[in-house]
């Protein structure tokens, strides 16, 4: 029987720290530049929050399953995709 790998410790990961900065910056950006009634705020903040959460869950899952860890990290990466940002930028161009 194989040894169980150490899990957790995600707060020290550069990816978790970066995703925390991205989350904080997203919240700030939304509060400053987007109408509070816009659904765009919910989408952007949820994507940033999801990224952080998936990194944490992937780190905790790493003790038992490298495959689960990798899947959750990939979901986190996808959460930080630029889809919502690109839509915001496209709608708010000066020439729009």
pLDDT digits (tens, 9 = 90+) for 74-89: 777 676 665 556 666 6
Alpha carbon distance 38, 20 (integer Å): 23
**Quick one: pLDDT band at residue 4, thresholds 50, 70, 90?**
very low
| pLDDT tens-digit series, residues 20-78 | 999 999 999 999 998 989 888 898 898 888 888 888 887 777 666 677 767 776 777 67
Those residues whose C-beta lies under 8 Å from the C-beta of residue 49, and which sit 6 or more positions away, are 23
* pTM, two decimal places: 0.65
């Amino acid at each position: 029987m194989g040894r169980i790998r150490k899990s957790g410790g995600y707060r020290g990961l550069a990816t978790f720290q970066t995703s925390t900065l991205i989350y904080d910056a997203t919240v700030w950006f939304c509060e400053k530049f987007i109408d509070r009634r816009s659904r765009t705020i919910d989408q952007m903040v949820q994507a940033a929050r999801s990224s952080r959460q998936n990194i944490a869950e992937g780190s905790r899952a790493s003790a038992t399953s490298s495959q689960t860890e990798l899947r959750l990290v990939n979901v986190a990466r996808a959460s930080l995709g630029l889809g919502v940002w690109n839509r915001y930028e496209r709608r708010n161009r000066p020439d729009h």
